Amino acid sequence: MAALQEYKCPCCGGAIEFNSEVQKMKCPFCDTEFEMEALKSFDEDLKLDASDEMNWDTKPGSEWSSGESDGIQSYVCKSCGGEIIGDENTAATSCPYCGNPIVMMGQVSGMLKPDFVIPFKLNKESAVMHFNNHLKGKKLLPKVFKEQNHIEEVKGVYVPYWLFDADVNARMRYKGNKVSTWSDSKYIYERTDHYSITRGGRVSFDNVPVDGSSKMDDTLMESLEPFDFTDAVSFQTAYLAGYMADKYDVSADDSINRANTRVKNSTVALFGNTVRGYSGVTTESSSIALSNGKAKYALYPVWVLNTTWKEKQYIFAMNGQTGKLVGDLPMDKSLATSYFFKAAGLAAGIVFLIQFLLWFI
């Protein structure tokens, strides 16, 4: 005698039985009928549901060999507590985070050697030009902001990043439906076909960046992306000359969560895009498994400008490789209000005129 197999109803979750009248599997609770094959396939899919497995092998960076870190000086800002490093040729006098003076502390210590660096592709003039462009055409920008900016004080800083590589194996299960409607003289009909949809496969990610400095706002840094790793080179101390670098204070282990979230979101989106032709889709379960998860430590180039205006701090950052510039600008409230009224008045006038003409003709 074969073992009794109990199947769950995909519609309401109750136990399904074979109904001899209709010669199909039928759920006694919700009255829905199913083909045997469909139930078996669905059941198999359910069994394969698993939870995420996202583990990394994090040993980024390396130890300095002797003498390598001799030329690197460490500075500290008494005002905001920021720690910067620069090489002996860097004339670092003010803090890139808050603009206040910094003090040299002596030789750098307690820091791993970076694996890679993307050198600065764009120089200070370019940064100034990009910044001026950023201010153009912003109708609500207060007029005096531009003048009070001290753009010349923009600083080139290497920001520490943890870069994550991984091969991802994913399995997603969805519920989808297709709706069709038609009508005759008496009724409007609506038929909903329900499907169980499975997608599985793999995708690989390289160099997903997570900002390793708590002083540089993570959202600001993410807005600067993408950085193109093809320009990266093995780290040499000489690259620091003339620029400041930020010392990391967030460990790789602590940055993993952000990397996981981003990898998972993209994986879900990629597979989700392959589900087409349905009126509605909901995700039932997803399992993401990482393998070969590696982390690297790199320095990425960023031009930073700090401005204080009307008691508020504004920080602007430009990607030193691509030139992308981001930074939220202040708003002139009275200008905003006056534009609101101008637009509202114009629209109201036009609409009234149209109504009047329609009445006339």
Partner 1 sequence: MKKILSALSILFLVSLMPLASYASPKLLVDEADLLTDEQEMTVLKELETVSADTGMDVAVLTVESIGDKSPMEYADDYFDYNGYGQGPDRSGVILLIAMESRDWYISTRGRAIDCLSDSQISEIGSGMNLSSGDYEGAFLFYAGDVKYDYELMLYTEEQNALNGGRGPFNPVPKIVISLIVGLIAGLIYRGVLKGQLKSVRANGGAMDYTRKDSFEVSEQRDIFLYSTTSKTAKPEPSSSSSSSSHTSTHTSSSGATHGGGGGKF
| Residue 336 interacting with partner 1 (CB under 8 A) | yes
Q: Which of 120, 117, 319, 321 lies closest to 233, judged by CA?
A: 117
| Residue 189 interacting with partner 1 (CB under 8 A) | yes
Sequence-separated contacts (24+) of 312-318 with Cβ below 8 Å: 313/98, 315/217, 315/220, 316/131, 316/134, 317/216, 317/220, 317/221, 317/223, 317/224, 318/122, 318/127, 318/130, 318/131, 318/154, 318/224
Q: Cβ(268)–Cβ(203) under 8 Å? A: no
Smallest gap, in angstroms, from Cβ of residue 304 to partner 1? 13
| Residue 70 interacting with partner 1 (CB under 8 A) | no
By three-state DSSP, how is residue 264 classified? helix
Q: Which of 197, 250, 284, 287 binds partner 1 (CB under 8 A)?
A: 197
Q: Which of 69, 196, 283, 285 binds partner 1 (CB under 8 A)?
A: 196
Q: Cβ(62)–Cβ(113) under 8 Å? A: yes
Q: Cβ(7)–Cβ(15) under 8 Å? A: yes
The separation between CA 137 and the C-alpha centre of its own chain, rounded to angstroms, equals 27
Smallest gap, in angstroms, from Cβ of residue 220 to partner 1? 5
Sequence-separated contacts (24+) of 138-141 with Cβ below 8 Å: 138/329, 139/335, 139/339, 140/331, 140/332, 140/335, 140/336, 140/339, 141/329, 141/330, 141/331, 141/332
Smallest gap, in angstroms, from Cβ of residue 79 to partner 1? 23
Q: Which of 15, 14, 13, 331 lies closest to 5, judged by CA?
A: 15
| Residue 207 interacting with partner 1 (CB under 8 A) | yes
Site for partner 1 in 340-359 (CB under 8 A): 340-349, 351-352, 355-356, 359
Residues with Cβ within 8 Å of residue 315, at least 6 apart in sequence: 217, 220, 304, 305, 306, 307, 327
Site for partner 1 in 132-151 (CB under 8 A): 134, 137-141
By three-state DSSP, how is residue 289 classified? strand
| Residue 112 interacting with partner 1 (CB under 8 A) | no
Q: Which of 171, 215, 247, 296 binds partner 1 (CB under 8 A)?
A: 171
Measured from the CB atom, the residue of 35 and 57 that comes closer to partner 1 is 35
Q: Which of 8, 45, 74, 151 binds partner 1 (CB under 8 A)?
A: 45
Q: Cβ(195)–Cβ(176) under 8 Å? A: yes
Interface map 223-262 toward partner 1 (x if CB under 8 A): x-xx--------------------------------x-xx
- Tell me which stretch binds partner 1 (CB under 8 A): 34-42, 68-76, 94-102, 148-156: 34-42
Q: Which of 57, 68, 190, 254 binds partner 1 (CB under 8 A)?
A: 190
Measured from the CB atom, the residue of 76 and 326 that comes closer to partner 1 is 326
| Residue 285 interacting with partner 1 (CB under 8 A) | no
Q: Which of 110, 188, 311, 357 binds partner 1 (CB under 8 A)?
A: 188
- Tell me which stretch binds partner 1 (CB under 8 A): 68-76, 154-162, 186-194, 233-241: 186-194
| Residue 38 interacting with partner 1 (CB under 8 A) | yes
Residue located via tokens 């905001």: 80
Smallest gap, in angstroms, from Cβ of residue 22 to partner 1? 13
| Residue 126 interacting with partner 1 (CB under 8 A) | no
| Residue 34 interacting with partner 1 (CB under 8 A) | yes
Question: For residue 324, what are its two tokens?
Answer: 């992308």
